[in-house]
Amino acid sequence: MSLRYDFSYDGGGRGKGGLGALFVNGRKVAEGRIDRTLPFVRAKAVELLRAPYASREAASREIGAALDAYYRSAYPDVARDAAKAIVQAAEQIRAIYLRNVFPSMNLTWGTHPNHVGHADQKGCFRCHDGQHVAADGRTITDDCSACHTILAQEEEAPKILADLGIGG
Ligand code: HEC
Ligand code: HEC
């Protein structure tokens, strides 16, 4: 299996947005566009994903209007200069909502947290915390190397990045 992630940068200096796409065996499986330069776009997106709506259709209609209204009132110059980015972000938030939230099934944003890894939730560490002890004294391991092969840590310019051709 081959995994590839392409990021087409918008350019024009640092911190700009771009289009990210994930490919498995050359087939595109995911693509997303939310401009990182929009102030507080992530927080606002999560708020809109969590908000109650009368129906999925209502959510689909209201998310774009709410994002637009937010920037108009909180950041009028952003609303003016980045109108296209706001529309694109709203499309992505709407798509994320429609993929994940089904109020009639009581399935709202956050009903099923992602337990892969341990970044946003405890995830694997729910058990792999070294605190779960069996009768014979063995614990469920919290040793990083049980799950990760650490190639470099806190190095200025890790050789592995240069070897892979992705170092700066
Ligand atoms: C029981 C397995 C397991 C153990 C033990 C474990 N990890 Fe992880 N870790 C994972 C998985 C799974 C992911 C998510 C990988 C992914 O999303 O592709 C992850 C992700 C990460 C990430 C990326 C976080 C991110 O923001 O996406 C870091 C950094 C990390 N681990 C560090 C550590 C360190 C340091 C330790 C030891 C203290 C550790 N891990 C122990 C399974 C483990
Ligand atoms: C519900 C509890 C639980 C969760 C959650 C859990 N594990 Fe485990 N895991 C175990 C148990 C129990 C073992 C077996 C420990 C043993 O036999 O010593 C184990 C063993 C492992 C081992 C083998 C470790 C070794 O050194 O032999 C790996 C690798 C592993 N888990 C990865 C993961 C990853 C990755 C996640 C998160 C995506 C995860 N586990 C989440 C309970 C859990």
CA of 147 to the centre of ligand 1 (A): 7
| 34 neighbors 41 (Cβ within 8 angstroms) | yes
Q: What DSSP designation does 44 have? A: H
Contacts of 151 (CB under 8 A, 6+ apart): 158, 160
Q: Are residues 68 and 45 in the same domain?
A: yes
Which residue in 45, 40, 3 sits closest to 21, CA to CA?
Answer: 3
Nearest CA to ligand 1 atom 21: 117
**Other Cβ atoms closer than 10 A to 11:** 7
Number of domains observed in the structure of the chain: 2
55 and 98 inside one domain: yes
Q: For the segment 27-45, what is each residue's pLDDT rounded down to a tens digit?
A: 555 556 788 889 999 999 9
Reported residue count of the chain is 168
116 touches ligand 2 (CB under 6 Å) = yes
Structural domain harbouring 57: 33-105
Read off the pLDDT band of 1 (50, 70, 90).
Answer: very low
What is the token pair recorded at 53?
């709506």
Q: Is the CB of 148 under 6 A from ligand 2?
A: no
Sole residue written with tokens 């009132």: 73
- At 5, the pLDDT band (50, 70, 90 cuts) reads low
Say if 19 falls within a structural domain: no
Q: Do 146 and 92 have their domain in common? A: no
